[in-house]
C-alpha cells in the first residue's frame, strides 16, 4: 500500500504542456480502472450518491420491476329481521335503528378477525402448495410472491396481506378488498371470502339458536318428568289409603261429628227438660234419654279418636300429606306450562334473530392494475429519506450543541 502511494500516478507522468493534437481527452486520462477499489468506494459512499442510488433503485423497482397488482372490492351489511313491534311512526324508531348498526359493526369486527384467521386460509387453500403455486414469485420481481417451500406462518402472513376487511362504524357495512397478481386472483379470493362470511354468519346464528332451542326442549322434558312423578306419587297415596281424597274424607268426618254433636245438644236439652218434668231422676223416660246422651258422647269421642289417632285413619296427617302431594302436582304443572311457553318463545325469537349477509356491492373483475401500491412504496422511500434527514439532522445538531 505504501509503495503504491509513493509511485507516481499516470497523470503525473504525462506532461501537461504537450501539443493539443496529442492531448488525451480528460475522460480517458482519469482511468478509473487503475484506481484502487477503496477510493472508488469512498467516492460512492457520499450521502448524495447513496440517497440517489436508494431513490433510483426504489423508483426502478416500484415503476419498472414490480408486478402489477389488481384489486377487487365488495361491500355488504350483516342484518337481522326488524323487530315486529318497531314501526316507522314510533318515537323510538331512530333509537332502535342505532343498535342495528352497532350489531352489524360488532359482527363485522368478528368477521374481520375470522376471515384473516388460519382456519379460513386452510379452508380456502387446504393444500399449502396451491397457495404457493398461485402466488409464486416471478422474475424480475424478486420481492413479491411466495417462494417455494415457504413455512406456514409465512403463508398465513402473505394470505393476510392479500385481503383487507374494514367494518364501517357509520353505516355498519363491511368492505372486503382483496388483491392479487391477476384480476382473476383478486376476484376469486373476494368471492371465496364472501362465501366464508355467509357461512360464518349462518353457522354462528344457527349454532346459537340450536343451543337455545335444545336447552328449552330439555327444560320441557324435565318439567314433564317432574309432573309425571308428582302425579304418580299422589295416585299411589290415594291407592294406598283407599280413598280418592283425604281432605274430602276429613270434611265428611267433621260434618258427621258435627251432626252427632248437634244431636247430642238436642238430647241434652231434652234430658234437662225431662229432669224438670219428673221428680224421680231414675224415671224410665229420663234414664232412656240420659243413656242416649252417654252413648252419643262416647260415640263422638270414638269417632274423633278414629279420625285423628295414629291407630285409626289419622285424617289430619293424611290431609297434610295429600296437600303436599297436590301442591307438588300443581307446581310441576305450572313449571311445564312455563317451560313450554319459554320453548315456544325461544323458537320464535331464534327465527326472528336470524342474520343475513345483504350484499351492497358485488366484487368485479378488475380491468386495470392498481397503481396505488407503486406510489405508496416510492413515496414511502422518499419519506424514509425525509424522516432520516429531518430527525437525524436535528438529533445530530442538538447533541453536538449540548
Binding interface with other proteins (CB under 8 A):
102, 164, 166-170, 375-380, 382-383, 386-387, 390-391, 393-395, 397-398, 401-402
The DSSP 8-state label assigned to residue 388 in this structure reads H
Give me the least distance between CB of 41 and other proteins, in Å please: 24
User: Which helix (H) or strand (E) covers residue 180, if one does?
Assistant: strand 173-180
Nearer to other proteins, 45 or 398 (CB): 398
Q: CA–CA distance from 250 to each of 11, 254, 313 (Å)? A: 139, 6, 10
Nearer to other proteins, 112 or 241 (CB): 112
Q: Quick check: helix, strand or coil at residue 15? A: coil
Nearer to other proteins, 273 or 382 (CB): 382
The CA angle 299-302-307, to the nearest 5 degrees, is 125
CA distance 259 to 30: 146
Give me the least distance between CB of 376 and other proteins, in Å please: 4
Nearer to other proteins, 251 or 395 (CB): 395
Give me the least distance between CB of 161 and other proteins, in Å please: 11
Q: CA–CA distance from 51 to each of 9, 80, 375, 396 (Å)? A: 31, 56, 18, 18
Nearer to other proteins, 90 or 376 (CB): 376
Mention every residue, 6+ apart, whose C-beta is less than 8 A from residue 260.
296, 299, 300, 303
Cis peptide upstream of residue 140 (ω within 30 degrees of 0): yes
Give me the least distance between CB of 98 and other proteins, in Å please: 9
Give me the least distance between CB of 136 and other proteins, in Å please: 26
- Which of 145, 140, 144 has the alpha carbon at shortest distance from 64? 140
Nearer to other proteins, 204 or 377 (CB): 377
CA distance 267 to 289: 7
307, 315 in Cβ contact below 8 A?
yes
CA distance 209 to 202: 10
Nearer to other proteins, 301 or 372 (CB): 372
CA distance 11 to 302: 151
Give me the least distance between CB of 184 and other proteins, in Å please: 24
Nearer to other proteins, 297 or 381 (CB): 381
Total H helices, total E strands in the chain: 14, 4
Give me the least distance between CB of 380 and other proteins, in Å please: 3
Give me the least distance between CB of 110 and other proteins, in Å please: 13
DSSP string covering 216-237: HHHHHHHHHHHHHHHHHHHHHH
Q: The cell 346464528 sits on which residue?
A: 205
Nearer to other proteins, 259 or 392 (CB): 392
Give me the least distance between CB of 398 and other proteins, in Å please: 4
- Alpha-carbon dihedral sign for residues 251, 254, 260, 266: negative
Amino acid at each position: 500500500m505504501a509503495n503504491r502511494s509513493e509511485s507516481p500516478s499516470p497523470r503525473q507522468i504525462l506532461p501537461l504542456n504537450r501539443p493539443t493534437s496529442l492531448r488525451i481527452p480528460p475522460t480517458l486520462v482519469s482511468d478509473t480502472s487503475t484506481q484502487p477499489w477503496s477510493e472508488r468506494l469512498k467516492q460512492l459512499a457520499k450521502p448524495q450518491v447513496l440517497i440517489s442510488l436508494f431513490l433510483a433503485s426504489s423508483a426502478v423497482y416500484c415503476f419498472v420491476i414490480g408486478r402489477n397488482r389488481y384489486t377487487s372490492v365488495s361491500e355488504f351489511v350483516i342484518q337481522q329481521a326488524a323487530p315486529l313491534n318497531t314501526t316507522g311512526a314510533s318515537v323510538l324508531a331512530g333509537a332502535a335503528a342505532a343498535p342495528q348498526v352497532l350489531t352489524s359493526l360488532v359482527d363485522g369486527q368478528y368477521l374481520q378477525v375470522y376471515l384473516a384467521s388460519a382456519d379460513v386460509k386452510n379452508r380456502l387453500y387446504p393444500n399449502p402448495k396451491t397457495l404457493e403455486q398461485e402466488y409464486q414469485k416471478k422474475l424480475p420481481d424478486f420481492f413479491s410472491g411466495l417462494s417455494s417451500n415457504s413455512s406456514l406462518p409465512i403463508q398465513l402472513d402473505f394470505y393476510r396481506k392479500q385481503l383487507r376487511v374494514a367494518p364501517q362504524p357509520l353505516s355498519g357495512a363491511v368492505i372486503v378488498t382483496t388483491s392479487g397478481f391477476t384480476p382473476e386472483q383478486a376476484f376469486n379470493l373476494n368471492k371465496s371470502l364472501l362465501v366464508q362470511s355467509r357461512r360464518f354468519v349462518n353457522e354462528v346464528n344457527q349454532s346459537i339458536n340450536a343451543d337455545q332451542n335444545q336447552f328449552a326442549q330439555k327444560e320441557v322434558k324435565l318439567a314433564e318428568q317432574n309432573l309425571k312423578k308428582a302425579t304418580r306419587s299422589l295416585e299411589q297415596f290415594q291407592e294406598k289409603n283407599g280413598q280418592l281424597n283425604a281432605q274430602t274424607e276429613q270434611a265428611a268426618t267433621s260434618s258427621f261429628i258435627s251432626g252427632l254433636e248437634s244431636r247430642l245438644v238436642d238430647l241434652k236439652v231434652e234430658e234437662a227438660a225431662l229432669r224438670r218434668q219428673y221428680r224421680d231422676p231414675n224415671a224410665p223416660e229420663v234414664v232412656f234419654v240420659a243413656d242416649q246422651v252417654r252413648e252419643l258422647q262416647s260415640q263422638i269421642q270414638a269417632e274423633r279418636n278414629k279420625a285423628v289417632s295414629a291407630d285409626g285413619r289419622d285424617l289430619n296427617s293424611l290431609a297434610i300429606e295429600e296437600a303436599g302431594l297436590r301442591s307438588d302436582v300443581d307446581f310441576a304443572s305450572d313449571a311445564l306450562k312455563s317451560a313450554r311457553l319459554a320453548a315456544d318463545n325461544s323458537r320464535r325469537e331464534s327465527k326472528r334473530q336470524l342474520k343475513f349477509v345483504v350484499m351492497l356491492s358485488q366484487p368485479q373483475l378488475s380491468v386495470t392494475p392498481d397503481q396505488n401500491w407503486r406510489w405508496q412504496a416510492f413515496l414511502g422511500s422518499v419519506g424514509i429519506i425525509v424522516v432520516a434527514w429531518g430527525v437525524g439532522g436535528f438529533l445530530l445538531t442538538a447533541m453536538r450543541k449540548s
